[in-house]
A and B are shown apart, each in its own frame.
Chain A
Amino acid sequence: MDVELLLTSTMTLASGIPLTLILALASLVIGLVLSVPLAFLRASGNRWVSLPVLAYTYVFRGTPLLVQLFIIYYGLGQIDFIRSSVLWHVLRDPFWCSLLAFSLNSAAYTTEVFRGGILAVPPGMIDAAQAIGMTPLQQKRKIILPIAFRGILPSYVNEVIALLKASSLASTVTLLEITGLSRKLVSETFAPYEIFIAAGILYLGLTSVFTSGFRMLETRWLNAPPKQAAPDGIAVKRVAHGS
């Protein structure tokens, strides 16, 4: 193991961090935006509304992300209708294809997570919202969504980490994010240990930053007392300021 090479390749691979972050965060946001309405449809009692959404989440969660990415990147070009349309400018670009694949995949997982959160909202809360005359949209926006989001926060962290790691698949469609750069570097130097371990260190750094960031959010939003917050075992009583 060449420690010097390990350090220099960590520096070289660090230039791939922005692309990894852009891919992961952008698809996370798009996935989140898509999943909110889908989750309400999926949680609906009407089967004609919930079944199509179930079909979408079932297919996207039941097949490998790699296949989804290849269908979008290589497959869609086979359809003449798409090749001749304006969309083709977007769909022949590996970046937009990766973003599309990751977003659709993430939306499918997040929809199911959110559905669980929505169904777990105590019915009394919704009754109360109705009783004070909220419209259905207000109920969703001000009552159901915030409560559901708090409830799913711990499982949503897993989705964030999974997406960060899944962004490494973009290297298979020629994108030079952390994994793509490391594969290129390995083919030039043929020193797989140092370079792939360097890439691993970068990913580990990113995932731990996100995990601890979300843990902080959890402490704030869920009003859970942070660890070691109470000296000598005396619980500090917190006054909720109606946040």
Chain B
Amino acid sequence: MDGFVLQFVEGLKTTVLLALISGALGMVVGLLAAAAKLSRFAPLRVVVGAYTTIVRGVPELLIILLIYFGGTVAISSFFGRYVEINAFSAGVLALTIVFGAYTAEIFRGAVLSISRGQIEAARSLGLHPWQTWLLIILPLMMRIALPALGNQWFSLIKETSLISIVGLTDIMRVAAVGAGSMRAPLTFYLAASALYLFLTSLALVVFNLLERHFAVRGH
């Protein structure tokens, strides 16, 4: 059992790293997609709209399987021999795509709820469009988007467990290996669920602090 404690620590690191990287990249994708959805250029709106609709209507597991096995086929045909795609990169790519689609909707809704006056005021002060985005829209939007964004991070942490299905040694995979070799599935999966509960609780605390930090005094 002692050996497994170390393995669980390694698995925890992998899970956290996977969530943080794909969450950060996914938020960038989400912001860009939200901006594209709000643009005046119709073809861009249609393409990005299709992306968010499709990704949100299909199981995350399917996207992960498609990227892992599809990526393996693509890379193998590129090199002319069988090359398996790295499970971690496949996981980052899949979760980024998923996270981007969900956060795009959140960011879009948040931008739309900012009053026009704020943006007009920024323009009349002579701020450049990117300055308006960076200094006015982003800070105002973050406050509105935070609760929904927190929920999405919550889901992301739980979705990382699906990458274990394509062989990434995260918390879930360590538990599955331990469950098999020690013939104690209940013990190992309960340990895994305790670790996930710890991570989601941590995310909850962090987002509560963030919400308090961004809250407007007197509101």
Contact = CB atoms under 8 A, between A and B. Distances in A.
Interface of A: 59, 62-68, 70-71, 74-79, 161, 165-169, 171-172, 179, 182-183, 186, 190, 192-193, 196-197, 199-200, 203-204, 207-208
A131 B154 CA distance: 43
Nearest to A69: B189
B95 to A, nearest CB: 13
A78 B187 contact: yes
Contacts, number: 116
Interface residues of B, number: 40
A98 B158 CA distance: 18
B158 A64 contact: yes
* Most chain B Cβ neighbours within 10 Å, of A74, A172, A182: A74
Contact of A179 (B62, B186, B193, B197): B62
Closest 6 CB pairs of A and B: A192-B69, A75-B186, A168-B59, A74-B185, A64-B161, A196-B66
A78 B18 CA distance: 31
A74 B189 contact: yes
B43 interface: no
A190 B73 contact: yes
B201 interface: yes
Nearest to B192: A67
A68 B175 CA distance: 13
Contact of B60 (A76, A79, A165): A165
Contacts of B117: none
Nearest to A201: B58
B57 A208 contact: yes
B154 to A, nearest CB: 8
Contact of B61 (A71, A76, A79, A179): A179
Given A66-B162, A193-B73, A166 B59 contact: yes
Nearest to A164: B59
Contacts of B56: 161
A79 B186 contact: yes
Interface of B: 54, 56-63, 65-66, 69-70, 72-73, 154, 158-162, 164-165, 172, 175-176, 179, 183-187, 189-190, 192-193, 196-197, 200-201
B172 A200 contact: no
A190 B73 CA distance: 8
Contact of A200 (B62, B73, B165): B62
Contacts of A200: 54, 58, 62-63, 66
Contacts of B161: 64, 66-67
A98 to B, nearest CB: 13
Nearest to B159: A64
Contacts of B69: 186, 192, 196
Contact of B172 (A62, A67, A161, A203): A67
A192 B65 contact: yes
28 contacts: A62-B196, A63-B200, A64-B161, A64-B162, A66-B162, A67-B161, A67-B175, A67-B189, A67-B192, A68-B193, A70-B179, A70-B189, A71-B186, A74-B179, A75-B185, A75-B190, A161-B56, A165-B60, A168-B61, A169-B61, A182-B62, A186-B69, A192-B65, A197-B66, A200-B58, A203-B59, A204-B58, A208-B57
Contacts of A197: 66
A72 to B, nearest CB: 9
Contacts of B196: 62-64, 67
B187 to A, nearest CB: 7
Given A74-B179, A183-B65, A192-B72, 15 more contacts: A63-B200, A66-B161, A67-B192, A67-B193, A71-B186, A74-B189, A75-B189, A77-B185, A78-B185, A78-B187, A166-B59, A182-B65, A192-B65, A196-B69, A200-B63
